Structure 1
Amino acid sequence: MEIKYKQYLLLIIAISAFAFSSCKKTETSNVAAEPVVIGYLIPGQPISIKVYQQKDISDTANYGPAITGLKLTLSNGTSTVSLTESAAGTYTYSNQSFLAAGKTYTLQFTYNGLLISASSVMPAKPLNYTATRTLINLPLSSLSGPGATDAVAITFKWDNPDSLYHVLVFKNDDANAFNIHPDRNSALNFTLNAKQAAGYDVYYRTFNYIGVYRAILFRVNKEYLDILNSNASSTSQNLTNPPTNITNGFGIFSAMQADTIKLTLTQY
């Protein structure tokens, strides 16, 4: 099953944006010393790498100013391509055939006299991704009361003989999604960390909205899971730099592949 990436890639970027916006700063004068790099490689999509300055802790924006005028290159181990600055701080390459499973991709550029680099291996696309159902009725009795979270609404499975990392992203496609818990500040879209499993049970109370969802299974690398775990454990009282795989910088450069299953959620 194929999937339109542009509509949900912003969800992944938003997760990382929150993590990197909490980078610890000790001296305002050193904020711009090392760049923040955000790049996700997904086969079938144009390559896009964003580069920002670090932001001061008093700044309310997700990132600092975009860094322009850089010369970014990307190597797949046998050939190297140059990225073009298509917007301020956004560097792209449109040849989709450059990305392939099993290859190691290395990003490089120079900033403030330092060589900035990062590498990531493109995983294979998930195989045999299935769900026990695609229509889920959310009974009122399963949403409250003792033992409510013990009821499994749906089970996802996929092949994972090598214990690779996976996350499940749920994206609601309804323009006017209906919140079945109006008294809660419920998340419409959400991410579940499946870690290195070959399946995942999702409980009824995990779903807060009815409507049409895409359940997107991402096969990811450890650098992405490190960011996800760091974001889950960070608080306003714990402003530390999140993990990064960027040498001489901050942020994340990671390759991933995905498959999707469409779900319809109703309530009775």
Structure 2
Amino acid sequence: MKKLFFVIFSCLALLSQVSCEKSEVSEFTDTPIIEAYLEPGDYLTVKVKRQIPFAGNVQYSADDINNLILTVSYNGGTHLLTALGNGVYIDSSIIVNEGENYSVSFHFNSKFVSAYTYIPSKPQNMTQSATEIAIAKLDTTSGPPSQGSQPDPIQINWSNTDGSYYLILVENIESVLDPIRDFGDNDPPGNLFRKSPTKLGVEEIRAMEFQYYGTHRIILYHVLPDYATLYDSNSTSSQNLSNPSTSIINGYGIFTGLNSDTLYVEVTE
């Protein structure tokens, strides 16, 4: 399930490439980018990336991104993470648990880099208004369907008494995708889509959002404010990078906890 969550976020990949636009920044500082989504049941894993500036002739620090000394602290203890290559660090003895606090730290470019987060509670009382939705095969030659011909949206409800952030991801899990419409010469869309973060306790999934027939899983993520803030960043200029996550010191990126629950819906013709 964690792999699905990575699909949600391509922002960090862009962030690492546009961090030093010539028109906005005259001096480049080699600052690490942290990427970690901690979910209950997973091993504690952290990825560290290097910025890729547009400006030429920049000077990088001598730090080896694959040979950093990363430590994680939780439950009053400190553990050294193992480097796997490509900036990935892991401790397979640490299983992420709900309600726990985690902090990671290391030295980079003569600075002490640190980040912290906690794991929010699993979504409670998640329900759906329907387990099946029938959508007629769409003929693109006759134009889009009228609003009146669309089936009722599927309503997802959950408890959110404290106004936390939640986000829904819908994924078709069929091995062979059966499209609802003809995509013509366009590239076919992916097998999943997502909704924007919300602080409500309800979300609607409309028929027109589905691209394929078959079984879909609806994953409701309980996310933290730092994730919602990064999601809402529509541009990745160096101005955005001057305001990194408040949970990260001397670095950019995301170090956040999440928790989820799952329902299923069948899309039929």
Secondary structure of 1:118 counterpart: strand
Look up the match of 2:121. 124
Deviation at 1:146, TM superposition (A): 4.3
Given that residues 168 and 192 in structure 1 are in contact (C-alpha distance below 8 angstroms), is that contact kept between their aligned partners in structure 2? yes
Deviation at 1:147, TM superposition (A): 3.0
Larger radius of gyration: 2
1:86 to 84, 87, 98: 84
Look up the match of 1:153. 153
Q: How does 1:217-236 map to 2 (within 5 A)?
A: 217-230=220-233, 233-234=234-235
The residue type paired with residue 67 of structure 1 is I
Secondary structure of 2:249 counterpart: coil
Given that residues 174 and 212 in structure 1 are in contact (C-alpha distance below 8 angstroms), is that contact kept between their aligned partners in structure 2? yes
Look up the match of 2:178. 178
Deviates more, 1:72-81 or 1:42-51: 72-81
Distance 2:194 2:66 in 1: 32
Deviation at 1:234, TM superposition (A): 2.8
Q: How does 1:18-97 map to 2 (within 5 A)?
A: 18-26=14-22, 30=28, 33-57=30-54, 67-76=65-74, 78-97=76-95
TM-score normalized with structure 2 length: 0.81
Deviation at 1:259, TM superposition (A): 0.9
Q: How does 1:130-141 map to 2 (within 5 A)?
A: 130-139=127-136
Look up the match of 1:249. 251
Deviates more, 1:195-204 or 1:10-19: 10-19
Look up the match of 1:203. 206
1:12–1:110: structure 2 CA closer, same or farther, 3 Å change rule?
same
| Count of paired positions | 251
Deviation at 1:82, TM superposition (A): 1.6
TM-score normalized with structure 1 length: 0.82
The residue type paired with residue 221 of structure 1 is L
Q: Percent identity?
A: 25
State the superposition RMSD in angstroms: 2.9
Distance 1:189 1:200 in 2: 16
Distance 2:149 2:26 in 1: 46
Deviation at 1:176, TM superposition (A): 2.3
Distance 1:266 1:28 in 2: 56
Distance 1:264 1:66 in 2: 48
1:100–1:52: structure 2 CA closer, same or farther, 3 Å change rule?
same
Deviation at 1:149, TM superposition (A): 9.6
Distance 1:215 1:66 in 2: 40
Distance 1:205 1:214 in 2: 17
Distance 1:102 1:111 in 2: 29
1:136–1:6: structure 2 CA closer, same or farther, 3 Å change rule?
same
Deviation at 1:225, TM superposition (A): 0.6
Deviation at 1:50, TM superposition (A): 0.8
Distance 2:44 2:14 in 1: 22
Unaligned runs of 5+ in 2: 57-62
Distance 1:176 1:22 in 2: 36
The residue type paired with residue 80 of structure 1 is T
The residue type paired with residue 79 of structure 1 is G
Given that residues 223 and 244 in structure 1 are in contact (C-alpha distance below 8 angstroms), is that contact kept between their aligned partners in structure 2? no
The residue type paired with residue 8 of structure 1 is L
Deviations 1:122-143, CA, capped at 9 Å, x for gaps: 10111111111222111458x9
Deviations 1:102-133, CA, capped at 9 Å, x for gaps: 33321111001101111112101111111112
The residue type paired with residue 69 of structure 1 is N
